[in-house]
Amino acid sequence: MIMQTKVILKKEVAGLGHAGEIKEVAPGYARNFLVLRGLAELATPDKMQQLKVQENKKRKEFEKMHNKWEEIIRELPNNHLVFKRKASKLGGLFAGITAEQIAEELSKKIKDQIDSTAVSMKKPIKKLGEHTVTVAFSPELQGELKITVLSE
């Protein structure tokens, strides 16, 4: 039976695993390649305990963010954004409304920071009228936001 050494990966290693994972590898591979190149560290009891504490902290932070996102999605139907922009006589906007602008206005309205990557748009809004955009934090957490664009 071959003796194995436990290591904690610091970085992703192709064919082995991702950062933060504990893996069992051959002692020579651990010592001469992974640890030497800074890709892993030996999994001592103290290091494993630190890893558990970090994982618990990350999990709690994620749960907190997830709960906040759920609340934002629940409140989306109650929020309606209105933009006033210069438009042509045919109703076309001279400057389109972007996901960044929508995220900024929504952030002000709900008093919480929304990243523009959460606002799903194929292209900027370029016409007056009613529009609907999707706000998605994950595939399971998404909702629709109504936007009205009026002429100045």
Residue environment code for 43-56, b if the CB has 16+ CB neighbours within 10 A, otherwise e: beeeeeeeeeeeee
CA 142 to chain centre: 13
Token couple for 144: 């629709």
Q: Which domains does the chain have, with CATH numbers?
A: 1-43 (3.40.5.10), 69-151 (3.10.430.100)
pLDDT in tens, 2-30: 789 999 999 999 999 999 899 999 999 99
pTM: 0.66
pLDDT in tens, 61-87: 999 989 989 998 998 888 899 999 998
CA pair distance 136, 143, nearest whole angstrom? 6
